[in-house]
Amino acid sequence: MLANAIACLVDGRGVIRVPALRPPPIPANVRAALASLQFGGDPGDPEVDIDWGEPGLSPAERVIAWNTLEVLAMATGNPAFPVNAIPASAKATMHMRFVVGTDVSTLREAVQTRLAAHGYGDIEVSAPTVMAATRLDPDNAWVRFALASIEKSTGKAPALLPNLGGSLPNDVFADILGLPTVWVPHSYRAKPAASTRPTSTCLCPWCARRWR
């Protein structure tokens, strides 16, 4: 029952089947900002399946400018020691990454309505934990100024990622201060063994810093 209930929310190719969980059309300036971005192809990158997800979108648009719905974990019975009995319950934890313009205020109700319409009204849907999504206008004068300043300092034109999903400290700026944030990828330089380094720099006031 749970497997079929999930299948009425998102199909086997990652396309969201619930109209209320789909985002509005991608703005033209967001498409333009993502047009030159390439996902995958570098050493260690996962292989990009161009047929996965919403049809008609580029990999960059699917990752940065569209919603996704996936199963993070699913359990029923005891997979390590199964017995010849039908399990009494099943549970799945799902995750939705969403962009600005998606109405997540009725997320739980939308899922419950969809499940009920397909005969799965008895499935319990818990209240979601939501972190806000933000978007910077790629045409905003201050955004263009920041990008030009980075290019002047580094000699390389940065790639703008206009949409940013919920994460710390992004949710603090979006939910409490009402400020959008943007991440600008930069080149990765080797560090000593056992050391890690992020491959993006946040332009928000709190995190605006250079890693050395």
β strands within the chain, DSSP E: 68-76, 90-97, 134-135, 163-164, 183-185, 200-202
User: If you ran DSSP here, which 8-state letter would residue 176 be given?
Assistant: I
In a domain, 167, yes or no: yes
Count of domains for the chain: 2
104 and 45 housed in the same domain: yes
67 and 162 housed in the same domain: no
Q: Decide: 204 and 183 in contact? Cβ < 8 Å.
A: no
37 and 92 housed in the same domain: yes
In a domain, 95, yes or no: yes
In this prediction, the residues of the chain whose per-residue pLDDT falls under 70 are: 165-171, 180-212
Q: What pTM value is reported for the model?
A: 0.77
pLDDT for 132: 78
Q: Decide: 14 and 52 in contact? Cβ < 8 Å.
A: yes
Q: For residue range 20-70, list pLDDT tens digits in order.
A: 999 999 999 999 999 988 877 788 888 888 888 999 999 889 988 999 999
104 and 40 housed in the same domain: yes
Q: How far apart are CA 168 and CA 173, in angstroms?
A: 9
Q: Which domain holds residue 151?
A: 134-202
The amino acid present at 73, given as its one-letter code, is A
